[in-house]
Amino acid sequence: MKRKWFLAATASVLLVTLTGCGKTVEEQIDTGVASAQTVFEENPQQSNKTIGKIELYVPTGFNVEESEDLNNLIITKGKESYILFVNYYEKEDSNLHYELLKNDSSKKIIKEETVEFDGAFGFSAVREYDKEQFELIVSSGGVKMSTISEDKNIDQKLVDMMTIVRSVKIAEEKE
């Protein structure tokens, strides 16, 4: 009986260990960029937060830090920090952020994907930041979000970022 218990416990530990290995960084990047494109093409989430003139959807577990600069918002989830940049003057079809990315040769682009849907332009990209970190960037029109990330959960981070970026609306001034 003890031997069966030992074999069952060993099998359970082995199963948990193998499951925990997860995806490689390359797989996470490929999945994340493709999933971000899918999110871009879906209906944006309804906003649940308003900061100044910016209305946006903030997923559960994320927090928006108020700041005096309403063009740049800091969004956090645990120890992760994201910068949300809103250019009020760029339209939905703007590719300004993409052109800036392509013209910056200071860091290697590992993967990028552009998408045009329903009159809007967007992209997701992963750049090498240093040996163990990556810069994740998503954009829709004049809205861009970026973060520096370790090699964990890159795919989910890109999806969350695109979900936030696609939800951003500029509130109309009431007269």
Alpha carbon 52 to its chain's center: 22
| Tokens 């490929």, located at residue | 30
- Helices then strands (H, E): number in the chain? 4, 10
pTM: 0.83
State residue 92 phi and psi, 5-degree precision: -60, -30
d(CA 149, CA 116): 26
Q: Are 168 and 54 in contact (CB under 8 A)?
A: yes
> Could you report the average pLDDT of every consecutive run of 10 residues in the chain (175 residues)?
42 37 88 94 93 92 86 93 94 94 92 94 95 94 95 94 95 59
pLDDT of residue 76: 95
- The top-level CATH class assigned to 23-170 is mainly beta
Rg of the chain, C-alpha, whole Å:
19
What CA–CA distance (Å, rounded) separates 2 from 49? 57
